[in-house]
Every structure is written in C-alpha cells, then in structure tokens.
C-alpha cells in the first residue's frame, strides 16, 4: 500500500514537471524568435541609416521574406517622407521596420527619424 502511494505521489510530481518543461520550452523558443525579429529590424534600420544618399532612402521601402536561424520572417520597411517641398521648412523621413515571425507571434517594430544630411 505504501508503495502505491509513493508511486502516485511520484507520478503526480513528474506530470507537473513535464507540464513545466513544455511551457519553458515554448517560452524559450518564442523568446529566441522575437530576438531574431529584433535583430532583423535593427539590421534594416542600420542599412537605411547608412544609405548612400538621403534621396535613396525612399527606394528602401519594401516587403521581403527573410530567413534567419532556420526561421522565416516577413520584414516590411515603410518610409514616410515629411516636408521636403520647395516652401517647406522641414524635410525628414520616418522609417518603420516591422518584422513578423511565424506562428502568430506579435510583430516587432522599430522606428527612426532621419533628417536630410
């Protein structure tokens, strides 16, 4: 009888531990995918900031599929030009990069403002 109780207690503990490990593995994978998305967004923002000319920033607006660490991401670069006309006192671009990982994980977004140089 004591053996049966001990086995029941052990089985309950093992089931609880297995559930914890499953949740931990999922959280670890989600975190790694989000970190990859943040890296891709940062790389794109850096590429835009280092574009050869200010006018060429507009041509960097695109939607692309990117593969990193065996994961496929959708990366969208949005460029909004503010001002820049002959009578405008302001001329800058707002660049937003949104990277969407697979599996319904929330997209990572980074935004920067770049003025004429």
Kindly calculate the radius of gyration of the chain based on its CA atoms and give it in whole angstroms. Answer: 24
**Residue ranges of the domains in the chain?**
2-115
Cα three-residue angle 117-80-86, rounded to 5 degrees: 60
Q: Could you report the per-residue pLDDT of 10-36, keeping only the tens digit for each?
A: 989 899 899 999 999 988 988 989 999
Give yes or no for residue 117 having a pLDDT over 80: no
pLDDT per position as a tens digit, 36-84: 999 999 999 999 999 989 889 999 999 999 998 889 999 999 999 998 8
- For residues 66 and 73, the answer to whether their CB atoms sit within 8 Å is yes
Distance, CA of 74 to CA of 101 (rounded, Å): 7
Q: At 85, is the pLDDT very low, low, confident or very high (cuts 50, 70, 90)?
A: confident
């Amino acid at each position: 009888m004591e053996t049966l109780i001990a086995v029941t207690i052990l089985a309950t503990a093992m089931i609880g531990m297995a559930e914890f490990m499953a949740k931990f593995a999922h959280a670890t994978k989600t975190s790694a995918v989000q970190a990859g998305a943040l890296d891709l967004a940062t790389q794109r923002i850096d590429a835009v900031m280092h574009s050869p000319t200010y006018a060429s920033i507009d041509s960097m607006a695109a939607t692309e599929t990117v593969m990193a660490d065996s994961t496929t991401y959708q990366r969208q670069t949005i460029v909004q030009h503010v001002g820049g006309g002959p009578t405008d006192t302001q001329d800058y671009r707002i660049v937003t990069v949104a990277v969407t990982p697979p599996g319904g994980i929330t997209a990572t977004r980074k935004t920067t403002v770049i003025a004429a140089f």
